Amino acid sequence: MTSAKLTISSKNYSSWSLRGWLLCKMAGLEFDEVIAPPDEKNRQELLLLSPSVLVPRLTDGDVDVWDTLAIAEYMHERFPDAGLFPADMAQRAHCRAICGEMHSGFQNMRSAMPMNIRTTYDTFKIFTGARPDVERVKEIWTECLDAYGGPWLFGAKPTAADAMFAPVCSRFRTYAVELEPKLQAYCDMVFDWPLMKQWIAGAEAEPAEIVELEVEF
Ligand SMILES: N[C@@H](CCC(=O)N[C@@H](CS)C(=O)NCC(=O)O)C(=O)O
């Protein structure tokens, strides 16, 4: 069987690529990264391989999976012992609910505060429309950390939920969002996660600032 391939784009800007990549790494899948460079002509051709014309897109043997939530579920079925979703059914349902909420919601936060790992602002005035999204993220994290005891959202080990919210930790850092200590500790831990460090090193190594990507991505 040829090795799996994950098509992603910019490590600095592409929040969905980060989520898909974390999920595959957490599951223990061995895969090659195929980078669709955002500033090159062949990008569209690479993206056309994905029926949605979006990344991430996973090819694992004969199986093609596009859409990040589908990748999370596929990885969970393929590597059931990796703990991508909690073992307890009620916790698993909660985990799926917040992953789904991240996947389908928070549009204002996503457009007003695009992921940009390399950049940090000392202060940043958050667009009024995005503030309820930021507050809702804080509420989700607080509920999880209180219910399951941290340090990850569902307890001792990272789950799909931490992968889904990892780009939000980056956004909060970039746009200087004030957090209470418990939530700040969560974000700091996510940034110290060896997988995140590996991704961030890739983001740092990317060549140029791509102004057109500093929008929802
Ligand atoms: N709902 C999709 C969203 C994927 C998405 O929006 N990906 C962005 C990159 S972060 C993308 O491919 N944008 C189009 C492009 O790069 O041309 C998913 O869950 O995977």
User: pLDDT band at 147, cuts 50/70/90?
Assistant: very high
pLDDT tens per residue across span 164-217: 999 999 999 999 999 999 999 999 999 999 999 999 999 999 986 665 555 555
Q: Which residue from 31, 29, 33 is spatially nearest to 78, judged by alpha carbons? A: 29
Which ligand 1 atom is nearest residue 66's CA? Answer: 20
The single residue listed with the structure tokens 């393929």 is 78
User: pLDDT band at 43, cuts 50/70/90?
Assistant: confident
Strand partners, 60: 63
Q: Ligand 1 atom 2: the closest Cα is on which residue?
A: 67
Which ligand 1 atom is nearest residue 38's CA? Answer: 16
167 CA distance to ligand 1 middle (Å) = 13
- The pLDDT value recorded for residue 209 is 63
Residue 31 phi/psi, 5° resolution? Answer: -150, 155
Alpha helices in the chain (DSSP H): 15-27, 42-48, 68-78, 89-104, 107-112, 131-148, 160-174, 181-192, 194-205
pLDDT tens per residue across span 12-36: 999 999 999 999 999 999 999 999 8
Q: Ligand 1 atom 12: the closest Cα is on which residue?
A: 54
Would you tell me which CATH number, out of the four given (2.40.10.170, 1.20.1050.10, 3.70.10.10, 2.60.40.2140), belongs to the domain 89-199?
A: 1.20.1050.10
- The pLDDT value recorded for residue 138 is 98
Residue 61, Ramachandran bin (φ over 0: left; ψ between -120 and 50: alpha; else beta): left
Collapsing DSSP to helix, strand or coil, 105 comes out as: coil
CATH class of 4-82+201-213: alpha beta
What is the overall mean pLDDT for the chain? 93
CB within 8 Å of 214: residues ≥ 6 apart = 13, 114, 116
Mean pLDDT (whole number) for 56-85: 97
pLDDT tens per residue across span 52-62: 889 999 999 99
Residue 21 CB–ligand 1 contact under 6 Å: no
Which ligand 1 atom is nearest residue 54's CA? Answer: 12
Q: Ligand 1 atom 17: the closest Cα is on which residue?
A: 54
Mean pLDDT (whole number) for 76-90: 98
Residue 7 CB–ligand 1 contact under 6 Å: no
Q: Write out the two tokens for 68.
A: 């990040």
Q: Where are the domains of the chain?
A: 4-82+201-213, 89-199
Residue among 14, 16, 19, 113 to mutate when testing ligand 1 (max atoms within 8 A of CB): 16
pTM of the model: 0.94
- The pLDDT value recorded for residue 150 is 98
